[in-house]
Amino acid sequence: MIRPQAKKAKEQKKFIQELQKGDKIVTIAGIHGIVNKVNEDGTTLQLETSPGTYIKIERSAISMEWTSALNKSTIAATDKK
Protein backbone atom coordinates (compact mmCIF):
# COMPACT_ATOMS: atom_id res chain seq x y z
CA MET A 1 0.00 0.00 0.00
CA ILE A 2 2.84 2.38 0.76
CA ARG A 3 4.80 1.56 -2.41
CA PRO A 4 2.28 3.07 -4.91
CA GLN A 5 2.05 6.28 -2.87
CA ALA A 6 5.82 6.60 -2.66
CA LYS A 7 6.13 5.96 -6.40
CA LYS A 8 3.53 8.62 -7.21
CA ALA A 9 5.22 11.13 -4.89
CA LYS A 10 8.56 10.47 -6.59
CA GLU A 11 6.99 10.98 -10.05
CA GLN A 12 5.35 14.25 -8.89
CA LYS A 13 8.68 15.56 -7.54
CA LYS A 14 10.49 14.66 -10.79
CA PHE A 15 7.72 16.28 -12.87
CA ILE A 16 7.92 19.53 -10.90
CA GLN A 17 11.73 19.68 -11.03
CA GLU A 18 11.79 19.19 -14.82
CA LEU A 19 9.50 22.15 -15.59
CA GLN A 20 11.02 24.78 -17.84
CA LYS A 21 10.09 27.91 -19.72
CA GLY A 22 7.35 27.34 -22.31
CA ASP A 23 5.68 24.36 -20.59
CA LYS A 24 1.88 24.49 -20.43
CA ILE A 25 0.62 23.70 -16.92
CA VAL A 26 -2.50 23.60 -14.75
CA THR A 27 -2.38 24.43 -11.04
CA ILE A 28 -4.28 22.55 -8.36
CA ALA A 29 -6.62 25.56 -8.26
CA GLY A 30 -7.40 25.07 -11.97
CA ILE A 31 -5.40 28.02 -13.31
CA HIS A 32 -4.05 27.36 -16.80
CA GLY A 33 -0.90 29.03 -18.06
CA ILE A 34 2.55 28.80 -19.58
CA VAL A 35 5.74 28.85 -17.54
CA ASN A 36 7.45 32.16 -18.33
CA LYS A 37 10.32 32.00 -15.86
CA VAL A 38 11.75 29.66 -13.24
CA ASN A 39 12.69 31.95 -10.35
CA GLU A 40 16.13 31.84 -8.74
CA ASP A 41 14.80 30.65 -5.38
CA GLY A 42 13.92 27.31 -7.01
CA THR A 43 10.52 26.99 -5.36
CA THR A 44 8.50 29.44 -7.44
CA LEU A 45 7.62 30.03 -11.09
CA GLN A 46 6.33 32.96 -13.07
CA LEU A 47 3.21 31.83 -14.91
CA GLU A 48 1.73 33.68 -17.89
CA THR A 49 -2.05 33.25 -17.68
CA SER A 50 -2.86 35.48 -20.65
CA PRO A 51 -0.65 37.63 -22.90
CA GLY A 52 1.09 40.16 -20.65
CA THR A 53 -0.43 38.85 -17.39
CA TYR A 54 1.91 37.06 -15.00
CA ILE A 55 1.48 35.47 -11.57
CA LYS A 56 4.00 33.98 -9.19
CA ILE A 57 3.17 30.46 -8.00
CA GLU A 58 4.77 27.75 -5.89
CA ARG A 59 6.02 24.69 -7.74
CA SER A 60 4.04 22.53 -5.31
CA ALA A 61 0.81 24.11 -6.61
CA ILE A 62 1.12 22.41 -10.00
CA SER A 63 -1.14 19.44 -10.72
CA MET A 64 0.69 16.66 -12.52
CA GLU A 65 -2.54 14.86 -13.49
CA TRP A 66 -4.33 17.90 -14.90
CA THR A 67 -1.21 19.12 -16.70
CA SER A 68 -0.72 15.70 -18.30
CA ALA A 69 -4.37 15.61 -19.37
CA LEU A 70 -4.08 19.12 -20.86
CA ASN A 71 -0.96 18.22 -22.83
CA LYS A 72 -2.47 14.93 -24.07
CA SER A 73 -5.58 16.71 -25.33
CA THR A 74 -3.43 19.35 -27.05
CA ILE A 75 -1.38 16.66 -28.79
CA ALA A 76 -4.53 14.77 -29.84
CA ALA A 77 -6.07 17.96 -31.26
CA THR A 78 -2.88 18.69 -33.20
CA ASP A 79 -2.77 15.16 -34.61
CA LYS A 80 -6.34 15.45 -35.94
CA LYS A 81 -5.42 18.44 -38.13
21's CB contacts (< 8 A; 6+ apart) are: 35, 36, 37, 38
Contact 9/16 with Cβ under 8 angstroms?
no
What is the predicted pLDDT for the residue at 2?
A: 81
What is the predicted pLDDT for the residue at 68?
A: 87
CATH top class, domain 2-80: mainly beta
d(CA 76, CA 72): 6
pTM of the model: 0.77
Q: Does 44 score more than 80 pLDDT?
A: yes
The model's confidence at residue 26, banded by pLDDT at 50, 70 and 90, is: very high
The model's confidence at residue 55, banded by pLDDT at 50, 70 and 90, is: very high
Q: Does 77 score more than 80 pLDDT?
A: no
For Cα atoms 77, 37, 52, give the angle at the middle one, nearest 5 degrees. 70
8-state DSSP, 39? -
Contact 59/45 with Cβ under 8 angstroms?
yes
